[in-house]
Amino acid sequence: MNVHVRNRIQSREDQVLESSLVPTQIEFRNVSKSYGAVAAVRDLSLSVGRGEFLTVLGPSGSGKTTTLMLLAGFEAPTKGEILIAGKSVGSVPSYQRDQGVVFQSYALFPHLSVRRNLEFPLEMRGIKAGERLARVDRILQRVHLGELSDRMPVQLSGGQQQRVALARALIADPPVLLLDEPLSALDRNLREEMQGEIKNLHQEFGITTICVTHDQEEALTLSDRIVVMRAGRIEQTNTPEALYDRPATRFVASFLGEANFLESPFFEIESDPPQPVDTVPMIRPERLGITTLTAPRKPDADRRHAVTGTVDDMIYAGPVRKYNVRVGNCVLVVREHVTSGQHTFQRGDEVRLDWLRSDVRFVAG
Amino acid sequence: MLQKLGRIPIGLTLPALAILLVVMGIPMVRLFLASINAPAFSLSNYQAFFSQPANVRVLFQTIEVSAVATALCVIIGYPTAYLISAAPKRLQLTLIVLVLIPYLTSFLARTYAWVVILGDHGLINTLLLNGGVISSPLPLIYNRMAVYISMVHIMLPVMILPLVSVMMGIDKSLVAAARSMGARPSAAFWRVFFPLSMPGVRSGSLLVFVICLGFYITPAALGGLRDAMLSTFIASQVQTSFNVARLAASAFILLAVAGVVLSMIGLDLSDTQGRTAQRTQRARQRRLPPFGALRRYFGEGADHYRAKRWMANLYQAGREDPWSILEILYIILVMTYLLLPGVVVIIMSFSAGTYLEMPPSAISLRWYRSFFQDPSWNGAAWTSIQIGAMVTILSTIVGTLAAYGLSRTSSQLRGSLTMVLLAPITFPSIVVAIAAYLGLVNLGLIGTRTGIVLSHSIGAICYVVVIVSATLATFDRRLEQAAKSMRAGPLQTFMRVTLPLIRPGIIGGAVFAFIHSFDEVVISSMVSGFSIRTLPLKMWENMRNEIDPTIAAVASLLMLLPILWLGALYIFWWRSRPQLQSVATV
Ligand SMILES: Nc1ncnc2c1ncn2[C@@H]1O[C@H](COP(=O)(O)OP(=O)(O)OP(=O)(O)O)[C@@H](O)[C@H]1O
Ligand SMILES: [Mg+2]
């Protein structure tokens, strides 16, 4: 039932995506992976287009790393098969898959200098010393590490190590780049800077990239497409905007951003066209308007739905203000951009909440 | 071939297992069968053992001596370890080195030192006689006291090193926390620090006790006739009548005592935590120290984070008060006990007379000259070096492969395989010696170099496995995956990434393998068949017959070796430290 609903929503979106897709580079066909009794990945099917930047997002333990390791060849699927450039790679060992991998901890070789680390993939491909030198110099420039080439990895800062790891993954021009939470060890500022850097490198090299993260902001900013995983399964796949705007399930809606579920019959949400019974109406906090009870009617009031409630709490968070408003037996979160001359509500104030009926989404419950 | 084996990691343990099986495993099984008169199953050999009161007395004496020596080691070693672990960093390092030096010194040389000190013409009696305190020599040697003094001296580092390592790992802020909650210093110690240090006490005691059970040389050299240990008894049985069935029964009784005590201590102290985890952990602790301790000490700082935390711990450490005069005296006393015998031998070795004097009335190098000129001495040394080198090469390769294979197998299998592989250093040495003797008889290798090399290697492999495993445990496997993602095949990955990073562990293992072989006397005495004379055999023969003071020069030279070892370990462990720091945790 739920699954059925989800599949319907899913397939509709997949059709949209499919048509716009470039040739497929990577394909998972009904891949499962279990470690003894633990099913880390279940029946996963996914295709990634050439040059696409795909982010795998999900809570801890949802099977993201496992998915990546399956693709990199460090683990073998229990069931199903993986195709790279149309060929099944079941029997291809990891060292023949031609992928750049950036590990969560970077995995720089601690006994080799930055230059020797970068040379490693070239040496393994039998590239001559002269050309190696040139290519290392080129990539070092590209990631702004020219002056650090003789340092050992321990002598680098976290961000520098990260760039070396990225450079090392890219230097041999692999057709596929795999990133496992590449930015998780960095502080916020550095992370944002590195996000920009990764995005640039991706655009420049046009390399098919799969990036694992559980940072939703990172996923939204970097990706062409996001895969949301939950307990080893794909919950939904779509572009960042579509995923945020039209989450297929309750899980995706609340995992990616915040969501108000208008479940109580009290809200009298009528849907047009009618939705299946097991869907739940949902609205994002920023789509809710908050006004005093006495405020004048808005011009588009006939397209809006309104309820009254009491402010439970106000949270000031820099550019936005968040209200928790009790409506009946529910609490709705309202997010409002801070502007000058705005009325600020206090705890206990009676308020009116309203929203455009078209902003309500129906998600599988 | 190697690539194929690499696919099945367990395959890498095969060479080690094969050597162990042929040299020791199969003979052990056959010994056991012989002891129960297989195929006609009977306990008559065991009955015969217990029907002789003398045997039973020796058995209980063995347990008693081992237990008392272990208790003494705990009593002396615990405070020492505590003071070392609480010392400022510089001093701490110095003290640990001072404990390591006797630990790495030939135990024959150290036993000899006590003969020189306690003997009728030894240091103490000479001093007392010359000072006119006594008129005839005191009976200091050839009694139980002498056995305890020398056994505790030999085993003390084996107790202190694991204790120090456990104590340094105790988060000192816990003690501080207890104090902040109103615990007086003594209460904080007993309620927090002491329970946390128990694993160290347990592993140290087990190790000391089991080694003591197998003690053979030291009691024979310093004890009286009535101080025979079961090992001595078994060894003399071998020489007089080689009745395999009787011998096997004695060996298995000794082994059973070791097994019972190990499991008893293990059970009593086990708490209610996850049982399997506990057991493997305990098994590891029992075997890893002191090498683990050593390795861990030198590897300290291998992990940046840990190092930082460690420094933080030192900072908050706990002990605001510097050592009291009493504590300083105590440490000096213990260090003197550990080091003085060596110093005495070195000084006496420069005696000019025909017998050793302390202090020497004139200085000469005659005993050193004698060592380098007498072919029976320098030949023995050369033989030992050659055998040691071969053992080192063989066991380092085989042991490293095994450790690598073990690190890639499931933890259950790893636990039991490690236990099997480490049997040669956990079984009393006389039992190993008898098994190896039978094994080499089967192979027709008694009295050959190959035979000695094989019989030394089973023990040497253990040290390599233990130390390399400890190194591999801190090795980040993602580095290998990273290499493979860059098109490095399994062999290239191993040679270019794994090997350079675990090299310090391999070097450490090699050093210990060499020390093991170079110092081995119990097994050698069984399998040499009188045709090959190693340096320890020559020394042992000399000590029993008290003929030639040249042994003092030899012992002195052997006492200088640890400095060489420490130098080598320093170069490979300490200097490679910055490279080993885990990149992930900066
Ligand atoms: N080697 C393994 N042996 C047994 N179970 C494993 C192993 N690796 C992963 N798992 C299990 O598989 C599941 C998925 O793990 P995975 O590492 O893929 O999660 P993840 O999504 O990457 O999580 P995180 O965000 O915490 O990194 C988890 O339940 C985990 O416990
Ligand atoms: Mg992960």
When the candidates are 3.20.20.100, 3.30.450.20, 3.30.360.10, 3.40.50.300, the CATH number that belongs to A13-253 is 3.40.50.300
CA distance B507 to B202: 28
pLDDT in the model for residue B7: 56
Residue of A34, A35, A215 to mutate, ligand 1, most atoms within 8 A of C-beta: A35
* Distance between Cα A40 and ligand 2 center (Å): 11
Cβ proximity of B422 and B466 under 8 Å: yes
Averaged pLDDT, B66-75: 95
pLDDT in the model for residue B559: 87
- Higher per-residue confidence, B312 vs A142: A142
Q: Whose CA is nearest to atom 24 of ligand 1?
A: A60
Residue B500 has its nearest CB partner, among A74, A111, A156, at A111
Q: Which residues of B touch A114 (CB under 8 A)?
A: none
Q: Which residue has the tokens 């108000």?
A: A260
- Compute φ and ψ for B324, nearest 5 degrees: -85, 165
CB of A117 within 6 A of ligand 1: the answer is no
Exposure string over B502-533, b if 16+ CB within 10 A, otherwise e? bbbbbbbbbbbbbbbbbbbbbbbbbbbbeebb
Copy the structure tokens of residue B13: 């343990």
Averaged pLDDT, B492-513: 90
> For B476-491, what is each residue's pLDDT tens digit?
888 999 999 999 988 8
Cβ proximity of B526 and B217 under 8 Å: no
CA distance B83 to B99: 13
Q: Which residues of B touch A172 (CB under 8 A)?
A: 486-487
Chain B contact for A96 (CB, 8 A cutoff): yes
Averaged pLDDT, B254-260: 87
Q: Does residue B290 surpass a pLDDT of 60?
A: no
> For B345-399, what is each residue's pLDDT tens digit?
898 888 887 777 777 788 888 889 989 998 989 999 999 999 999 999 999 999 9
Q: How many CB pairs under 8 A join A and B?
A: 93
Q: Whose CA is nearest to atom 18 of ligand 1?
A: A63
- For the CA atoms of A299, A305, A310, A316, the dihedral, rounded to the nearest 10 degrees, stands at -70
> For B98-145, what is each residue's pLDDT tens digit?
998 998 888 888 998 998 888 887 888 888 888 888 888 888 888 899
B contact set with A (CB within 8 A): 304, 476, 478-479, 481-490, 492-493, 496-497, 500-501, 578-584, 586
CB contact under 8 A, B484 and A93: yes
> For A272-291, what is each residue's pLDDT tens digit?
677 777 888 899 999 998 98
Q: Where are the domains of chain A?
A: 13-253, 278-364
Q: Which residues of A touch B489 (CB under 8 A)?
A: 93, 95
CB of A37 within 6 A of ligand 1: the answer is no
* Element holding B160 (H helix, E strand): helix B144-169
CB of A69 within 6 A of ligand 1: the answer is no
Interface test with A, best of B486, B494, B499, B579 (most A CBs within 10 A): B486
Cβ proximity of B476 and B582 under 8 Å: yes
**pTM for the predicted model, two decimal places:** 0.78
> For B72-101, what is each residue's pLDDT tens digit?
999 999 999 999 988 888 888 899 999 989
Domains of chain B, first to last: 2-273+327-584 (1.10.3720.10)
pLDDT in the model for residue A43: 94
Q: Which residues of A touch B483 (CB under 8 A)?
A: 95, 109, 120, 124
DSSP string, A277-333: TTEEEEE-GGG-EEEETTSPPPTTGGGEEEEEEEEEEEEEETTEEEEEEEETTEEEE
CB of A214 within 6 A of ligand 1: the answer is yes
Q: Which residues of A touch B490 (CB under 8 A)?
A: 95
Cβ proximity of B26 and B439 under 8 Å: yes
DSSP string, B475-541: S-HHHHHHHHHTT--HHHHIIIIIHHHHHHHHHHHHHHHHHHHHH--HHHHHHSTTT---HHHHHHH
A158: number of Cβ within 10 Å = 18
Least confident of A32-46, B282-296, B456-470: B282-296
Residue B583 has its nearest CB partner, among A96, A125, A161, at A161
pLDDT in the model for residue B510: 93
Q: Whose CA is nearest to atom 14 of ligand 1?
A: A63
Copy the structure tokens of residue B167: 């104590």
Copy the structure tokens of residue B185: 């210093």
Least confident of A141-155, B139-153, B197-211, B286-300: B286-300
Q: Which of B435, B19, B459, B24 minimizes the C-alpha distance to B211?
A: B459
> For A6-54, what is each residue's pLDDT tens digit?
444 444 444 444 445 578 889 999 999 999 889 999 999 999 999 999 9
CA distance A27 to A236: 16
Query: What is the pairing mode between strands A79-84 and A87-88?
Result: antiparallel
Query: What is the pairing mode between strands A87-88 and A99-102?
Result: unpaired
CA distance A203 to A198: 9
Ligand nearest to the CA of A60: 1
Rounded mean pLDDT of chain A?
A: 86
Q: Whose CA is nearest to atom 17 of ligand 1?
A: A65
CB contact under 8 A, A154 and B581: yes
Q: Which of B563, B562, B561, B557 minimizes the C-alpha distance to B112?
A: B557
Least confident of B143-157, B168-182, B311-325: B311-325
pLDDT in the model for residue B265: 64
> For A287-346, what is each residue's pLDDT tens digit?
998 988 888 878 887 888 888 899 998 888 888 899 999 988 889 999 988 888 778 888
- Higher per-residue confidence, B230 vs A342: B230
Burial environment of residue A276 by CB neighbours within 10 A (0 to 12, 13 to 18, 19 or more): middle
Atom of ligand 1 nearest to the CA of A181: 27
Question: Residue A249 has what DSSP assignment?
Answer: B
Q: Does residue A231 surpass a pLDDT of 90?
A: yes
CB of A60 within 6 A of ligand 1: the answer is yes
CB contact under 8 A, B586 and A161: yes
pLDDT in the model for residue A20: 53
Q: Which fold has domain A278-364?
A: OB fold (Dihydrolipoamide Acetyltransferase, E2P) (2.40.50)
CB of A64 within 6 A of ligand 1: the answer is yes
CB contact under 8 A, A103 and B586: no
Q: Which residues of A touch B496 (CB under 8 A)?
A: 120
CA distance A326 to A308: 9
